[in-house]
């Protein structure tokens, strides 16, 4: 029985058990299926990540999308393969571990339909109609499934349900969300152009989903709960399924057939909306009707990190279970912290989607807030536990940005005496400063979480207005100095396109740092974005909201190319248009002389010069003055942006890794490697 004696009375409802068909969830915290970047050949990392969530109090922990057979081949992504009985043993290891901890386990079996590629198996992509693969860059078309294909698909689903039982799962999912499910493709008239009994009318397009769900219930035979994951509303995309139309119709038609409804919205950029565009709980507008239609429990998501918001969802009858993907990544121990009345210790998701971007590169996911995610097995890092130092030392951390604060926290938790010195009047560095720009307010949580922890610790001293030089460091007589002095934005034109300074830039421009620190400018502003992540477009939106006439120039064909990986690129473009920002793509800067001179990136032809205050957004340079002045190489460590400028996630990770290395007597801890089995014929 879970001990809730310390739990705030307001939050005890979150720890009530919830019956889901033949099984009972021990509480309302539900770690929903999400991609982790761990392929089927990376079982150790995959299992350790999920086991950590269970240890942290998530009452139900789900496996990611698991393909049911080789005809569902989304070959460029490390999606789970659940093709045959050889997969059962490894999954059984996970379910046994979760059961021993006290959590339910769930698996999301799926066929990706026309989201598949078929390039790894050589099999044709399957779909309701002969349409292109849903990744435009892939020159593949789907085969319109015939009756034999549909029969084979149903048999594959049934076989996967049987394997799920053998693997020990408590809940088996039928996946019908987003545009990555063949059941969604058959349901939506945007994809289903059939004229037989599986096409045309709503009932016909629903037929395959109903058949597979009924057969799943039959095969589960009361030994497993059956869940369905459905996007009940489509924002953007092809917009054919809505919560007032066929999204609601599906729930009404199948209301009490599954044991659990897991509901969200499509498309993925809206389902996994960033904090820049969507507030906590934003999906309620589209999903709240579901509990009015079904008597079965409902789980939903909304980047929930506040226990008050969670309780509000339960008490108003919006949800029965609080779904978490990104919140469970940022803090696997979120439920236990609420249960133990340590709400202030929650490491809140900032909604930056760095975790999502990992999926695009087919790597185990990263997190800005939680540097230990994906490292639980590989490096042996625990999100809450730091090994105690054998001998306590006096340590100095110069710089209170993301890297410095994370290093200080890890070192202090190990028992060292830590002094943090920051040259500015505020602690938090770039995470604090950038959070004051339009849309990035939640990013202050990076500093807030770490500062709250450090301020509770008697072995930590925090100082502002304290710029450290070699003499000051020497006078402090510390055992080791961690140099986390950050980096500064260059305004000479160096960027992703330009590896050399651009003529006139340094003399005629306003730096990004000046704008971040509140500099205001009258008249038109020309931003030259050669970084292609968030800074150029955030500044453009920020200045446009202040009333400036803003033009954003980029050498790329579109704005914020890298933000396609964080699912924000199209929403950024829409936002800039709504704010009146003029965008000039495919334009390479050649010089500045009271105007920005440009040439076409494709043809080399000249483009009319643009007048206004120039703001170059390109590369940053490390601040190395302190590092260079410190003499001893053995008693100093360079970390974060001061070592290699990067994104905030990289800085936090670097701070954590530097501290762990110090705790390991200065030796980089070895990384364990996942190894596949070698078959010798």
Structural tokens at position 179: 């545009």
> CA nearest 119: which of 162, 156, 72, 151?
72
Q: pLDDT, tens digit, for every residue of 23-55?
A: 999 999 999 999 999 988 899 999 999 999 999
- Tokens 């009932």 correspond to 203
pLDDT of 357 reads 93
At residue 602, φ and ψ (nearest 5 deg) are: -95, -45
Q: Looking at the structure, give the CATH architecture of the domain made up of residues 489-620.
A: 3-Layer(bba) Sandwich (3.50)
Looking at domain 394-486+623-663, its CATH superfamily turns out to be: NAD(P)-binding Rossmann-like Domain (3.40.50.720)
- Tokens 């800039």 correspond to 576
Structural tokens at position 512: 């990004």
Give how far Cα 305 sits from Cα of 133, 302, 576, Å.
36, 9, 29
Three-state DSSP string of 511-552? CHHHHHCCCCCCCCEEEEECCCCCHHHHHHHHHHHCCCCEEE
pLDDT of 632 reads 76
Q: Which residues, given as ranges, of the chain have pLDDT below 70?
A: 1, 76, 681
Q: In 498-529, which positions are buried (b, 16+ CB within 10 angstroms) versus exposed (e)?
A: beeebbbbeebbbbbbebbeeeeeeeebbbbb
> CA nearest 338: which of 362, 360, 314?
314
CB-side neighbour CA atoms (13 Å) of 587: 22
Give how far Cα 504 sits from Cα of 367, 452, 493, Å.
39, 45, 9
Q: pLDDT, tens digit, for every residue of 387-440?
A: 999 999 999 999 999 999 999 999 999 999 999 999 999 999 999 999 999 999
pLDDT of 467 reads 94
Contacts of 226 (CB under 8 A, 6+ apart): 21, 171, 172, 174, 213, 216, 217, 220, 258, 259, 260
- Tokens 């020990």 correspond to 168
β-pairing, 596-600 vs 394-398, is unpaired
Q: What are the percentages of helix, strand and coil residues in the chain, rounded to 5?
A: 35, 20, 45
pTM of structure:
0.96
pLDDT of 548 reads 95
| Neighbouring-strand partners of residue 480 | 395
> Does the CA dihedral 510-511-516-517 come out positive or negative?
negative
9-296+305-360 to CATH, choices 3.90.226.10, 3.20.20.70, 3.40.120.10, 3.40.50.1820: 3.20.20.70
> CA nearest 198: which of 216, 186, 211, 185?
186
Contact 495, 530 (CB under 8 A): yes
Map out the domains of the chain as residue ranges. 9-296+305-360, 394-486+623-663, 489-620
Cβ burial of 251 (10 Å; 0-12, 13-18, 19+) is buried
> CA nearest 560: which of 269, 231, 139, 323?
269
Cis before 267? omega within 30? yes
pLDDT of 135 reads 81
Host H or E run for residue 262: strand 260-266
Q: What distance in Å separates the CA atoms of residue 195 and residue 629, rounded to the nearest whole number?
A: 76
pLDDT of 681 reads 65
Q: What distance in Å separates the CA atoms of residue 197 and residue 187, rounded to the nearest whole number?
A: 12
């Amino acid at each position: 029985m879970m001990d809730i004696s310390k739990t705030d009375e307001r939050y005890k409802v979150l720890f009530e058990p919830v019956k889901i068909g033949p099984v009972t969830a021990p509480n309302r915290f539900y770690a929903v299926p999400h991609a982790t970047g761990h392929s089927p050949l990376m079982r150790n990392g995959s299992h350790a990540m999920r086991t950590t969530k269970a240890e942290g109090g998530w009452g139900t922990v789900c496996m990611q999308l698991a393909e049911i057979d080789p005809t569902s081949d989304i070959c460029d992504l490390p999606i789970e393969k659940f093709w045959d009985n050889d997969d059962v043993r490894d999954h059984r290891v996970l379910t046994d571990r979760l059961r021993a901890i006290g959590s339910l386990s769930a698996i999301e079996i799926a066929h990706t339909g026309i989201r598949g590629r078929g390039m790894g198996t050589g099999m044709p992509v399957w779909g309701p109609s002969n349409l292109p693969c849903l990744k435009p860059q892939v020159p593949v078309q789907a085969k319109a499934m015939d009756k034999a294909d549909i029969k084979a698909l149903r048999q594959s689903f049934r076989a996967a349900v049987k394997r799920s039982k053998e693997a020990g799962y408590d809940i088996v999912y039928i996946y019908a969300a987003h545009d990555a499910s063949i059941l969604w493709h058959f349901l939506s008239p945007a994809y289903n152009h059939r004229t037989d009994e599986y096409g045309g009318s709503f009932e016909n397009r629903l037929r395959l989903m109903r058949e597979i769900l009924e057969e799943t219930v039959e095969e589960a035979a009361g030994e497993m709960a059956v869940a369905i994951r459905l996007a009940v509303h489509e924002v953007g995309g092809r917009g054919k399924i809505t919560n007032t139309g066929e999204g609601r119709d599906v729930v009404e038609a199948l209301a009490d057939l599954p044991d659990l409804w897991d509901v969200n919205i499509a498309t993925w950029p809206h389902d996994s909306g960033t904090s820049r565009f969507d507030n906590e709980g934003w999906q309620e507008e589209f999903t709240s009707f579901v509990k009015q239609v079904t008597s079965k429990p409902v789980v939903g998501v909304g980047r929930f990190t506040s226990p008050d918001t969670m309780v509000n969802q339960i008490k108003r009858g919006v949800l029965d279970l609080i779904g978490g993907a990104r919140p469970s990544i940022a803090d696997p121990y979120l439920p236990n912290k609420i249960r133990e009345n340590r709400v202030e210790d929650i490491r809140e998701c900032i909604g930056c989607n760095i975790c999502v971007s990992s999926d695009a590169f087919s790597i185990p996911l990263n997190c800005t807030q939680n540097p230990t995610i994906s490292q639980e097995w590989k490096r042996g890092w625990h999100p809450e536990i730091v090994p105690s130092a054998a001998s306590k030392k006096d340590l100095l951390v110069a710089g209170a940005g993301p890297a410095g604060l994370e290093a200080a926290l890890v070192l202090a938790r190990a028992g060292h005496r830590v002094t943090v010195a920051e040259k500015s009047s505020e602690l938090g560095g770039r995470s604090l400063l950038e959070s004051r720009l339009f849309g990035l307010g939640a990013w202050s949580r990076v500093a807030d979480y770490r500062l709250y922890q450090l301020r509770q610790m008697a072995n930590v001293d925090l100082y502002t207005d304290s710029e450290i030089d070699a003499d000051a460091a020497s006078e402090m007589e510390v055992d080791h100095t961690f140099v986390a002095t950050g980096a500064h934005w260059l305004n000479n034109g160096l960027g992703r396109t330009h590896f050399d300074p651009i003529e006139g830039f340094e003399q005629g421009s306003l730096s990004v740092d000046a704008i971040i620190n509140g500099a205001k400018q009258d008249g038109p502003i020309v931003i030259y974005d050669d970084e292609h992540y968030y800074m150029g477009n955030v500044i453009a939106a920020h200045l446009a909201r202040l009333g400036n006439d803003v033009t954003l120039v980029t050498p790329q064909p579109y704005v914020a190319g890298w933000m396609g990986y964080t699912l924000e690129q199209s929403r950024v473009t829409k936002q800039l248009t709504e704010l009146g920002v003029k965008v000039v793509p495919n334009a390479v800067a050649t010089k500045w002389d009271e105007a920005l001179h440009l040439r076409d990136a494709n043809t080399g032809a000249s483009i009319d010069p643009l007048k206004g205050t120039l703001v170059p957004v390109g590369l940053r340079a490390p601040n190395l003055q302190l590092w260079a002045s410190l003499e001893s190489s053995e008693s100093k460590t360079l970390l974060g942006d001061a070592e290699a400028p990067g994104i905030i996630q990289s800085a936090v990770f670097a701070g954590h890794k530097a501290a762990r290395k110090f705790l390991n007597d200065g030796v980089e801890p070895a990384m364990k490697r996942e190894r596949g089995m070698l078959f010798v014929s």
